[in-house]
Amino acid sequence: MPKYLLKYLRNYSCKQLKISAVTFFVKNMDLAVKFYSNIPGFEIVYGNSETSFVTFKIEDQFLNLEYNQNVTCDFGRIIFHIKDVDKTYHHLKQSPFSDRIETIPTDASWGERFFYIRDPDNHQIAIAKPI
């Protein structure tokens, strides 16, 4: 967590802060479910490719997909921390979504190893691990 945010939280009565879930609107639920199911550690806990809402559990957090045929992507990026960036990169490189990978795994100056990939609705996803 950034130092400026920690400083703020020290003066705030509620010190437990985390994001529980992120919801992406998707145009093609079947394709989106296939994409996220290819990422190791993403487990469907609600819905399926034929429903209008799907929830993936990622350890103690959730990613929701909600069908919306009028999706426009003007979103920044979401970062998923995982155990092994390189293994996940190679796994996705062999998947039907290899053409969605934007970068190779890189060690960043801010202390993460990461790579970028775009989901079928063009949301940029960072697969990362603190180093």
Q: What is the pTM of this model?
A: 0.68
Interval 65-105: pLDDT, tens: 989 888 776 676 888 888 899 999 999 999 999 999 999 99
Cα angle, residue 15 at apex, residues 131 and 65 outer, rounded to 5° = 65
Q: Pairing mode, if any, of strands 112-118 and 77-81?
A: unpaired
Q: What is the pLDDT of residues 20-32, one digit of tens each?
A: 788 888 989 999 9
Domains and CATH numbers, the chain: 18-130 (3.10.180.10)
Residue 104, amino acid: I
Q: Is residue 127 a contact partner of residue 115, using CB atoms and an 8 Å limit?
A: yes
Mean pLDDT (the chain) is 84
Q: What is the distance between the alpha carbons of residues 93 and 97, in angstroms, rounded to a whole number?
A: 7
- Tell me the C-alpha distance between 100 and 108, whole Å: 21
Contact 85, 113 (CB under 8 A): yes
Q: Measuring CA to CA, which residue among 74, 72, 65 is closest to residue 47?
A: 65
Q: Return the pLDDT at 52.
A: 93
The single residue listed with the structure tokens 């490189």 is 93
Residue 5 has what pLDDT? 43
Q: How much is the pLDDT for 30?
A: 96
Joined together, the tokens standing for residue 67 give: 């069908």
pLDDT at 111: 85
